[in-house]
């Protein structure tokens, strides 16, 4: 291999080495980041992945259940860990994400199936995320049960 050919290979490798990582470093939009965090939250609820939930929930989380019970992060996590609340399935309709700077408000409908309960039920919910450092943290949840259609 000639000296020129070797030099071309070295230059090509250097360009690929620099350009390759740059291609993968493209950041998602804030809405995509919030939606990805929400997908991780749902999966963690179903999988009992408490470490992920601890990371997603802000320390000052307020969680208002559809029956009007208000939990702090500590109380909600204790209920999940004890098995008092065990999510078997969560099926969401497409939600709306509205961004206001470092605040994101998600509104949507979801069908919830809790283990040990006879039937799934539908909720209408509002979930607020706030950007803290590099992460989106859930700070407030409010849900209302949607009455059964008659």
Q: Is 71 inside any structural domain?
A: yes
pLDDT at 78 over 50: yes
- Quote the percentage of the chain above a pLDDT of 70: 81
User: Torsions phi, psi of 118, nearest 5?
Assistant: -65, -30
Q: Is 44 inside any structural domain?
A: yes
Q: What is the pLDDT of residue 117?
A: 85
Q: What is the pLDDT of residues 98-120, one digit of tens each?
A: 999 999 999 999 999 998 888 89
Q: What is the pLDDT of residue 14?
A: 47
Q: Is 127 inside any structural domain?
A: yes
Q: What is the pLDDT of residue 85?
A: 87
Residue 62's domain comprises 28-145
DSSP 25-92: TPPPPHHHHHHHHHHHHHHHHHHT-HHHHHHHEEEEEEEE-TTS-EEEHHHHHHHHHHTSS-EEEEEE
Q: Which CATH number is 114's domain given?
A: 3.10.450.50
Q: What is the pLDDT of residue 16?
A: 44
Domain tally, the chain: 1
User: Torsions phi, psi of 126, nearest 5?
Assistant: -125, 130
Q: What is the pLDDT of residues 38-77, one digit of tens each?
A: 999 999 999 999 999 999 999 999 999 999 999 999 999 9
Q: What is the pLDDT of residues 117-133, one digit of tens each?
A: 888 999 999 999 999 99
Q: Is 110 inside any structural domain?
A: yes
Buried b (16+ CB within 10 A) or exposed e, 93-107: eeeebeeeeeebebe
Residue whose C-alpha is closest to residue 127's, from 105, 112, 145: 105
């Amino acid at each position: 291999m000639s000296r020129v050919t070797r030099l071309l290979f070295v230059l090509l490798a250097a360009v690929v080495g620099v350009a390759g990582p740059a291609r993968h470093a493209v950041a998602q939009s804030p809405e995509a980041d919030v939606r990805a965090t929400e997908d991780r939250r749902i999966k963690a609820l179903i999988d009992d992945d408490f470490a992920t939930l601890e990371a997603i929930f802000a320390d000052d989380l307020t969680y208002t259940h559809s029956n009007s019970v208000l939990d702090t992060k500590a109380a909600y996590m204790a209920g999940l860990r004890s098995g008092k609340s065990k999510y078997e399935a969560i099926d969401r309709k497409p939600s709306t994400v509205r961004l206001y700077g470092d605040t994101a408000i998600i509104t949507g409908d979801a069908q919830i199936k809790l283990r040990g309960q006879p039937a799934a039920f539908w909720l209408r919910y509002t979930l607020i995320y706030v950007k803290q450092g590099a992460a989106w943290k859930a700070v407030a949840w409010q849900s209302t049960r949607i009455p059964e259609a008659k």
